Chains A and B, each alone.
Chain A
């Protein structure tokens, strides 16, 4: 009877799991089946053993049949349900079953900085020729828990991601590899210091050049939250996991334009889940992960010890692979590793080789190079290149020639010039002091007898005379098309500060879209900035041949792209160009609102990376001016998400080589880009009346259940939280930018 009780519990669990997957208890009368099991449990001692086991066999047979039927064809929405099931394995199970022993760091259980983010020092071992080899690793991952409220469902708070970063640095100091386990539906979208977006950006920035091998395993990869600990050398993914740019519910709300509080149609959620290409197989095809780890047909659960054995083997193998790639002599070991990989389903008891996981300086250099190459290569299939064949070849040749020229000019000649200059300065400095002592009395007497006449200063031509428009003819001045209306508008702060109504031609003309009473900035089109920020005729666009595409064949995106291309006359949501500000040459990347709300997809990411590289090659400051960005383009799925690490790697390399990277936010800047390549900049500034944040108020309300004040994302609050370093007035943008370039860039701008 004791066994039958256990069998009944197992059967009830299996039926509940099927209900979780289908999301419907009525499917194949699962609810009735579950009631039968509960009924049997209650009448356990009232019926004969023979009848009980007969009934159990019948139910077991039915459950197995249904399990096979479900496993036969799992839809992406059902995969999401598997991952979210309470019976799915968690990080705790991984720590207990994959690693020999572990010590949790930075708190334990509820007593923790953030219980949703678990960090542990662990030991993982392998047997080679009857000898046991132990490896120390740092394990960092999300803990979804088993229904405990304090785990927050695996949504790491900003300080949880900060904790992860701290221990990544510890691992770097100690030279041990890091294993990441991603079990998060997304990051907890609050702006409290250190801020959801800013902290993810910091994590990505550090991880892009962390000097230890990193391997990550994805079970539930929810967008930005996953990226916070996802930039690794090898990305593994559970066969029943999902990795997505947004939850299917979030995508459904956007696609279906569902109002807040209204119920989302199930069919729409299923449709979006399928469109987002979030399963392991899809991600492998897209190249956003490296390998899939097989799971049982309906996904691994807490007691699937066979799966944990496989996971252990794969984590070791992946770490070996990362380490071996950095070795100059690795042919045989790499071959052995590959052979093992091809064996497929059977997991060997022993490993053929024991590979030490510590790296020399040279190997670390190689590791970082490979990581950079890996992430720079991501999402290449997500955009369209218009230049082909000969034109592309010519373009590349020109790029190489430019690179050669700047290498010669700044890489070879400039250091010598600087050294010589330095020596001359020092010698002349010494000489001046010496000569001053001798000549001072003579000079004083001379000045007394023949006083100097003050010379008039050179009068420079007024700046406006020099300017020439790219949108207007030489004889006319650029005026925002918004000004061509004879009407007035009311400042949104009128009730607070008593601002008077503003006449539109005045407002968008000489007032530059700024309320003269309270300073509120009305939005202006991006052309206004191109026109008023940079020197006359200095704006020269490049990489216009990279075009936004629809790599996932997302329904309806093609038409929307076509419409935006026609409306804007541009081919992506980013404009990259060379420009000058009062004679200082710089490279600019500008995300603007008119094209898919300034969302970042593969084309935008690639253009950003190339602009970054151009700034690096030409040794110029790099400005990211964000007219508006709505985040990552969800219709590109994970190809969009990987733009976060990709662009951050490029930014990190630019900054490391001595570049000056500045970000200026205007209007609205949210989500992925702020949580990666924008948020990692040491110099971030907001234009007055702009809003900066991770998630909008609706997402915050729906995720956290708390309302946020209307000014939660305002630039002023972002400044208070330390997310930006200042707020600029639009009318002084040019002046402030020039001052910032001179102040932060030093005399040579590109200051290394």
Chain B
């Protein structure tokens, strides 16, 4: 938890982007379909079934493979000198500069500062009644948990199992599920942070929410 939130925030403010470097999946002759600075779209649709913008075509053994943008953003560092050339596998071709929005930055900060307690298996989860009432009354920020505390109920096929918390002691900062939700294995259930950092995190999140422009 030795993370300087101010530094983290400053870093995101000075460079609110994430660069996705794209490499060739295999050898072939490349022909680019985008230019430097061109905005591109990532996959869309409810099931992300509509491909994003076509970036380049890589042809090997008369098999033209169309490569689409994996996320939205702006194309940078296109290696135009490779256009029409044979390239090896793993060759860096271009980057997509993806501008992070407010929620993405909050998510990134939280994943760095919180301890995430994930679902042990795919099931429905409930907080134990006392915990649920406490959270309802006080909001999650002031409820402490320690390793070994039985705070969750996992319900599967009408069989309820108590789940003991395992991880760093601290306060519950965020509950990622609603009582009775079906949660996939490994998906986050609780975000825990140390009590001393709590006011500080709250302040930073609040600042991002109010000041950040998407």
Contacts and interface: CB of A to CB of B under 8 A. Distances in A.
Contact of B65 (A490, A503, A707): A490
B62 A488 contact: yes
B90 to A, nearest CB: 15
A488 B26 CA distance: 13
B61 A488 contact: yes
A501 B60 contact: yes
Interface string B37-64: 0000000011101000000000011110
A503 B45 contact: no
A707 B45 contact: yes
A710 B162 CA distance: 38
SS class, residues of chain B in contact with chain A:
loop
Contacts of B63: 487-490, 501
Interface residues of A, number: 11
Contacts of A488: 60-63
A709 B45 CA distance: 9
Among A489, A501, A503, A707, the one with the most B-chain Cβ atoms within 10 Å of its Cβ is A501
A83 to B, nearest CB: 35
A77 B117 CA distance: 63
A486 interface: yes
Contacts of A487: 61-63
A711 to B, nearest CB: 9
B208 to A, nearest CB: 33
B25 to A, nearest CB: 9
B61 A710 contact: no
Contacts of B45: 707
A710 B46 CA distance: 10
Nearest to A706: B46
A501 B27 CA distance: 12
Interface residues of B, number: 10
A486 B65 CA distance: 16
A712 to B, nearest CB: 10
A633 B111 CA distance: 57
Contact of A709 (B26, B49, B60, B61): B49
Nearest to A697: B49
Nearest to A486: B62
A487 B63 CA distance: 6
Nearest to A502: B63
Contacts of B60: 488, 501
Interface in B1-50: 26, 45-47, 49
B209 to A, nearest CB: 32
Interface string A691-711: 000000000000000010110
B65 A710 contact: no
B61 A503 contact: yes
Contacts of A503: 61
A709 B49 CA distance: 8
Contacts of A489: 63
Nearest to B61: A488
A489 B63 CA distance: 6
B61 A707 contact: no
A503 B61 CA distance: 9
A453 B112 CA distance: 77
A492 to B, nearest CB: 12
B62 A709 contact: no
A453 to B, nearest CB: 57
A490 B61 CA distance: 11
Contacts of B61: 486-488, 501, 503
A488 B60 CA distance: 8
B20 to A, nearest CB: 15
Interface string B142-180: 000000000000000000000000000000000000000
B47 A709 contact: yes
Interface of A: 485-490, 501, 503, 707, 709-710
Given A487-B62, A488-B60, A710-B47, 5 more contacts: A488-B62, A489-B63, A490-B65, A707-B46, A709-B46
Closest 7 CB pairs of A and B: A487-B62, A488-B63, A488-B61, A710-B49, A709-B47, A487-B61, A487-B63
13 contacts: A485-B62, A487-B61, A487-B62, A488-B62, A488-B63, A489-B63, A501-B26, A501-B60, A709-B46, A709-B47, A709-B49, A710-B47, A710-B49
